[in-house]
Amino acid sequence: VRHPALIIILSLLCLANNAKAQQGIFRELALKGDSCMKIHDTFHAMQFYIAGVEADSTDIGIRRKLASCYRKVGDNRACVNCLDRMPKDSVSHDDMRMFYYSYLSLGNSAKAATWGERITERYPYDSDVTASLASLYNSTNKPERAEITTKNYITQCDSTNIFVNSEYAYSLFLQLKYDEAIPQYEKIIANGNDDYKSNFVLGMCYDGSNDTAKARKHLAKAASLKDDSSYCLYRLALTEEALMMDSLAAEHFNRSLETAMPQSRAFRTYAKLASVYFALHKYAEAARAFELAIAYDSDDKALNYYNAAQMFIADGNTIKADLYLRLFIEKANKPNNDEYTKELIETARKQLGRKQ
């Protein structure tokens, strides 16, 4: 008969061997995951890290690596869930950043702001999060919070960071503090950030301060850097009109219209809109849409005039119907017409009530 103490010792030795084996498996999984990450193989690294977490759910290091993998593949919800299982007193600066950027990517502004505030309070020199958090506040109608966040960094940490200074200046602009925003943008541009946004906002600041000449200078620069910005071109044209630069104003008003709705897209949009209105039996609206389609049709197709006429007929507007019937016949009446076009011309003539 074995002594009870011997049985206990043997059992403990067995458990120790099992624990040692488990630790060996865990280390191997972690090392394999790390090897994958060295060659940027996130997919297979995740499989090893997941298995590692299952082998030892208490190990913070491997959980952190798994969370980082989730961030890399864009699974921000999984990243947050993974980090949420860590002890709160073990959350590092990098973990906090993963929380912040994950919630930002998920569109959860409130939780992103919460983590952003924690980071800027605990790690005030983190300029990336400071600028990003200020941008979040500026884009969610909280420029006063952006001003506080950036001003704290500028006065206490670094006054030269262009990204932080840009968000600070923008927060002043959004609060209509033009006199304060102007010198900030002038400094940002002088320091080399002579881009579209800086010039556009500075131009708007000068416009808000009734300095039309300087407003035009910076809006013109912005338009030269981004010539497809309809609103910038519109604001530029307004300053040129105020300065009695009528030729330039006309040019930029027209360009603003063209960029807002390119001709080919405008034609297709109005033609489709006419079709939808016709299906809804809203003939007046369909007729008007066909008129607008005609205005944007670079090929000036005769069929659009016929379609507009039919809508005006359905709406009972005989004056407009007759106008578009005549225009259709004039544009479509060619010697080499196909049978379908000839039939439409004949129908149009009958609708007019006389031969053309």
Q: Is 72 left (phi over 0), alpha (psi -120 to 50) or beta?
A: alpha
Read off the pLDDT of each residue in 223-242 and give the average, rounded to a whole number. 95
Is the pLDDT at 228 greater than 50? The verdict is yes
pLDDT above 90 as % of the chain: 77
Model pLDDT for residues 1-50, shown as the tens digit of each residue: 445 555 554 454 454 455 555 677 778 888 889 999 999 999 999 998 99
Query: Encoding tokens for residue 259?
Result: 């960029």
Read off the pLDDT of each residue in 202-206 and give the average, rounded to a whole number. 97
3-state secondary structure the chain: CCCHHHHHHHHHHHHHHHHHHHHHHHHHHHHHHHHHHHCCCHHHHHHHHHHHHHHCCCCHHHHHHHHHHHHHCCCHHHHHHHHHCCCHHHCCHHHHHHHHHHHHHCCCHHHHHHHHHHHHHHCCCCHHHHHHHHHHHHHCCCHHHHHHHHHHHHHHCCCCCHHHHHHHHHHHHHCCCHHHHHHHHHHHHHCCCCCHHHHHHHHHHHHHCCCHHHHHHHHHHHHHHCCCCHHHHHHHHHHHHHCCCHHHHHHHHHHHHHHHCCHHHHHHHHHHHHHHHHHCCCHHHHHHHHHHHHHHCCCCCHHHHHHHHHHHHHHCCHHHHHHHHHHHHHHHCCCCCCHHHHHHHHHHHHHHCCCC
How much is the pLDDT for 298?
A: 87
pLDDT above 70 as % of the chain: 93
Model pLDDT for residues 280-310, shown as the tens digit of each residue: 999 999 999 999 999 999 888 999 999 999 9
Read off the pLDDT of each residue in 175-189 and give the average, rounded to a whole number. 97
How much is the pLDDT for 14?
A: 52
Q: 355 falls in which pLDDT band (50, 70, 90)?
A: very low
Q: 337 falls in which pLDDT band (50, 70, 90)?
A: confident
Query: Encoding tokens for residue 156?
Result: 């206490």
Is the pLDDT at 232 greater than 90? The verdict is yes
Question: pLDDT higher for 152 or 30?
Answer: 152
How much is the pLDDT for 221?
A: 97
Model pLDDT for residues 54-96, shown as the tens digit of each residue: 888 889 999 999 999 999 999 999 999 999 999 999 999 999 9
Read off the pLDDT of each residue in 154-163 and give the average, rounded to a whole number. 95
How much is the pLDDT for 6?
A: 53
Q: How far apart are CA 136 and CA 109, in angstroms?
A: 7
Among 261, 206, 199, smallest CA distance to 225 is for 199
Model pLDDT for residues 100-117, shown as the tens digit of each residue: 999 999 999 999 999 999
Is the pLDDT at 99 greater than 80? The verdict is yes
